[in-house]
Structure 1
Amino acid sequence: MEEQKRSFKSKVKSFFVKILLGLIVVCALILWMCSWTYSEGTRAGQLIKFSEKGVVFKTHEGELNLGGLRTGNANDGLEGNLWQFSVLNDDVLNDLINAEGKRVKLSYKERYKAMPWQGETNYFITKVETINP
């Protein structure tokens, strides 16, 4: 009887250890996949907004006015053509703070999915160039 109890306890313990290891592997794989770059490119426009946002995780977010207007649905009418992005790098962060209100060309990388501590968007700025008017 005592052997059966030990055997049962060891089987239960082994089962939970396997589940825990499986969850750790899955989480590590998801984090690794989220760091993959989906696309890279540049966008140019006027930097109209830059802020630090978040309740638990503070992230740096911005908006770029790409110019022109686009139509919303029938009730909204016309709206500006805005592009939202996030920033991870402190050097890029300082460049953006200095360029607010100016025309800029932003180089970016798009990821499959951003983690909550990285930003609200999947677009991450890698380089800022000020465009002379």
Structure 2
Amino acid sequence: MKKFFRIFLLLVIVALAIFIYVRYYFVLGEGVKSGELNYCVKKGYVFKTYEGKLIQSGIRSLSPNTIQSYDFEFSVTNEKVAKTLMANSGMVFDLYYKEYKGAIPWRGFSRYVVDSIVAMKDPRNGNIVR
């Protein structure tokens, strides 16, 4: 009976480890989002993380003859990237992100985690700043 219990406990631990890995650490998708940076802030009760919002405009809505914007909310893990975003609010950014199935408190509030800036443009004249 002890041997069965040990094997059962080992299987439960392995299954739990696989579940946690797939849910919180496996990269489900990755890509680039482009839009105007609305804000980037550092916030949190216990874990202070960088959170931001990118506004993508020009996406068609379900209603005819209307334009609807899409808000892309994300977390930032790299402090240098976060400081660049905070210093340039209102600019148009192309942000490289990774999508996870779940959020972890010390990584941020969002399932989408931005880890680099592909390009930064001035919305007034379209010049690439970076």
User: Normalized against structure 1, the TM-score is what?
Assistant: 0.68
- Where 2:21 maps in the other structure, the secondary structure is helix
For 1:63, the aligned partner's letter is K
In the TM superposition, 1:97-108 aligns within 5 A as: 97-108=86-97
1:68–1:117: structure 2 CA closer, same or farther, 3 Å change rule? same
CA RMSD of aligned residues (A): 3.0
Q: Structure 1: any 5+ residue segments left out of the alignment?
A: 1-10, 73-77
1:37 partnered with 2:36:
no
Tell me what 2:105 maps to: 116
Q: Deviations over 1:37-87 (max 9, x none)?
A: 111111111101111222122221100010137769xxxxx8642110001
Work out whether residues 61 and 120 of structure 1, in 8 Å CA contact, stay in contact via their aligned partners in 2. yes
Count of aligned positions:
118
- Where 1:60 maps in the other structure, the secondary structure is strand
Q: Aligned partners of 1:23 and 1:93: how far apart in 2?
A: 39
1:79–1:53: structure 2 CA closer, same or farther, 3 Å change rule? farther
- Where 2:113 maps in the other structure, the secondary structure is strand
1:127 partnered with 2:107:
no
Q: Structure 2: any 5+ residue segments left out of the alignment?
A: none
Identity among equivalent positions (%) equals 33
For 2:56, the aligned partner's letter is L
Work out whether residues 39 and 86 of structure 2, in 8 Å CA contact, stay in contact via their aligned partners in 1. no
**In proportion to residue count, which structure has more helix?**
1
Which structure's CA Rg is the greater one?
1
Work out whether residues 33 and 96 of structure 2, in 8 Å CA contact, stay in contact via their aligned partners in 1. yes
Q: Which runs of 4+ in 1 moved over 4 A?
A: 21-27, 69-72
Work out whether residues 107 and 127 of structure 1, in 8 Å CA contact, stay in contact via their aligned partners in 2. yes
